[in-house]
Amino acid sequence: MTSSQGVHAIIPLSLLEAMRNLDTPIDDGLAELAHEMVSKRLGLSSTVATQIERYRSQAERQGSVSMDEAVSVFRLVSRREDAQLVFADAGRRTARLAARSAPTWVRTLLKAGPRVLRQRAGVRATARVAARVLDAEVTPQSGGLAEARLTESIASRASAAGAGCYYYGAAFAELLRLLSGFEGAMLHEHCRAKGDPDCTWRSTTVEGYE
């Protein structure tokens, strides 16, 4: 969605869920410290829990939030020492939620169709979902691969280009995996944080998958 239309609620929902996930203590036998740990971890706060429920309700209705609100959540995550981990986890979460809106025939083709058709149809489906949810342009490349491009993103608006790009790279890779059967990585070839006019990613297969 564009800034004038707002931002899909899936995005802030995924960011806060990822933050809560990484702030949740592991079961390491230190139960006596749990209260102190919770009090120091924003992802486990009641405020975040309330916001997660609000965003989840909006996402289920395919609703949106204002650009300013989405930027504030992005900026909140960018201040963390583990921001890259949160962004990457959130990107995958966004992709899994967004992929549910893809047509049923795409998922059926992915399970039973010829590999070439799976890749072509999957990349096209990824492009539609990425445009609708991430306001990004995804174009097919030779060999069933794809390129993703962002001129203006929530990350750049939040002055979080760089770390925030982990969110988009993870989201593109997960969308391609879910909708086209792609196994590989998204190479971040150009970044606005480095002075490039656009952020671009190019999919590449990992040796041993193809």
Q: Are 174 and 97 in contact (CB under 8 A)?
A: no
Looking at residue 23, its pLDDT comes to 87
pLDDT higher than threshold 80 for residue 176: yes
Amino acid present at 105: W
Looking at residue 24, its pLDDT comes to 85
Of 179 and 206, the one with more pLDDT: 179
Based on the number of CB atoms within 10 Å of its own CB, is 123 exposed (0-12), middle (13-18) or buried (19 or more)? buried
pLDDT higher than threshold 50 for residue 190: yes
Distance CA 102, CA 70 (A): 24
Of 15 and 113, the one with more pLDDT: 15
Residues 105-119 have a mean pLDDT of: 66
pLDDT per residue over 73-106, tens digit each?
999 999 999 999 999 999 999 999 999 877 676 6
pLDDT higher than threshold 80 for residue 197: yes
pLDDT per residue over 119-165, tens digit each?
778 888 899 999 999 999 999 887 668 999 998 899 989 988 788 99
What residues contact 171, with CB distance under 8 A and at least 6 apart? 91, 92, 94, 95, 98, 130, 134
Of 162 and 198, the one with more pLDDT: 198
pLDDT per residue over 48-66, tens digit each?
899 999 999 999 998 999 9
| Token digits of residue 94 | 């966004």
Q: Are 67 and 6 in contact (CB under 8 A)?
A: yes
